């Protein structure tokens, strides 16, 4: 998969060199290009923002640097056979970024991110590229960050761990919170590792029982309890067949 990020803070993307994403890059599973938006400014001050039409506080990112930057990045990707691009526009007014969307994005060959600063990007830039490729305006949560770079890191990490061969154990994300399947819409319950007792706290007996059926049932019950406590809205989204008689008595 190819990723391009256009930003006024390229150094903010340094974490893409470490851990899971860094290793995926080193193995050639991810081909990441970070670009400085100011390379596409031609004035003495490398201006990327201007005052908003209609007045109001804050500044708006200008059309020209974004247009020139995206044209160059796209031309390079097309030339090198990167497949069909999708534009990922981080914005608090976008659709919520979910595991489902992470799965969808992980199936695309090439993602181009446009993390903004100030009050965001002149709308015409997004409208222009939407005529040429799918555009995903995504929000990573109901809060406002100073810029979209942290959102790029979030989306990239969620997507990268789904790419074939990136996780050491391909099964690892099967039981994650939000994973599709039997536990769909349930959060993951508590997890434990050795030693079996620590500061007087013992792990639940069932986990030492070696009884796979009982362990699976315990995990599911704990997932249900945790989801009910932290995200009752997710329980409402579960299909009725997820629950049995015992659950209804809980």
Binding-site residue ranges = 140-145
> 116 vs 95, 97, 130, 240, CA distance in Å?
16, 17, 17, 42
CB of 135 to ligand SAM, least distance (A): 13
Does position 155 interact with ligand SAM (CB under 6 A)? The reply is no
> Which single residue brings its beta carbon nearest to ligand SAM?
148
Binding segment (CB under 6 A) for ligand SAM, from list 6-14, 88-96, 104-112, 232-240: 88-96
On the question of a cis peptide bond just before residue 159, with omega within 30 degrees of 0, the verdict is no
44 noted as active-site residue? no
Does position 93 interact with ligand SAM (CB under 6 A)? The reply is yes
117 noted as active-site residue? no
Q: Supply the DSSP symbol for 118.
A: T
Q: Is 81 exposed, middle or buried (0-12, 13-18, 19+ CB in 10 A)?
A: exposed
Does position 146 interact with ligand SAM (CB under 6 A)? The reply is yes
Phi first, then psi: what are they for 217, rounded to 5°?
-65, -40
- The two structure tokens encoding residue 207: 């986990």
Q: Which is nearer to ligand SAM, 92 or 109 (CB)?
A: 92
Q: 3-class SS at 53? A: coil
Binding segment (CB under 6 A) for ligand SAM, from list 10-18, 144-152, 175-183, 231-239: 144-152
Q: Which is nearer to ligand SAM, 40 or 97 (CB)?
A: 97
Q: Supply the DSSP symbol for 121.
A: B
Binding residue for ligand SAM, selected from 144, 197, 229, 250, defined by CB under 6 A? 144
Pairing mode, strands 60-61 and 85-96 = unpaired
Q: Specify binding-site residues for S-adenosyl-L-methionine.
A: 140-145
Sequence-ordered list of residues with C-beta below 8 angstroms from that of 246, at least 6 positions apart, any chain:
none
Give catalytic residues, as residue numbers: 92, 119, 161, 176
Q: What residues line the site for ligand SAM (CB under 6 A)?
A: 90-93, 115-117, 119-120, 139-141, 143-148, 151
């Amino acid at each position: 998969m190819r990723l391009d990020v256009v930003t006024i803070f390229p150094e903010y993307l340094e974490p893409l060199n470490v851990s899971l994403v860094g290793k995926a890059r080193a193995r050639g599973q991810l081909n990441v290009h970070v670009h400085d938006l100011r390379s596409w400014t031609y004035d003495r001050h490398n201006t990327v923002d201007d005052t908003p039409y209609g007045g109001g506080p804050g500044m708006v990112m200008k059309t020209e640097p974004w247009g020139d930057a995206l044209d160059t990045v796209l031309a390079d990707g097309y030339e090198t056979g990167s497949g069909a691009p999708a534009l990922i526009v981080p914005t608090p007014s976008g659709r919520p970024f979910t595991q489902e969307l992470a799965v969808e994005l992980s199936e695309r060959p090439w993602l181009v991110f446009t993390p903004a600063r100030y009050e965001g990007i002149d709308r015409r830039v997004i409208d222009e590229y939407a005529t040429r490729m799918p555009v995903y305006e995504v929000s990573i949560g109901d809060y406002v960050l100073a810029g979209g770079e942290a959102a790029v890191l979030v989306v990239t990490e969620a997507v990268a761990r789904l790419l074939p061969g990136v996780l050491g154990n391909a099964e690892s994300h099967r039981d994650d919170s939000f994973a599709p399947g039997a536990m769909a819409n349930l959060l993951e319950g508590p997890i434990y590792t050795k030693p079996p007792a620590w500061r007087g706290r013992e792990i639940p007996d069932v986990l030492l029982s070696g009884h796979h059926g009982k362990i699976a049932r315990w995990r599911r019950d704990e997932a249900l309890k945790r989801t009910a406590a932290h995200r009752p809205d997710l329980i409402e989204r579960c299909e009725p067949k997820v629950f049995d008689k015992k659950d209804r008595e809980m």
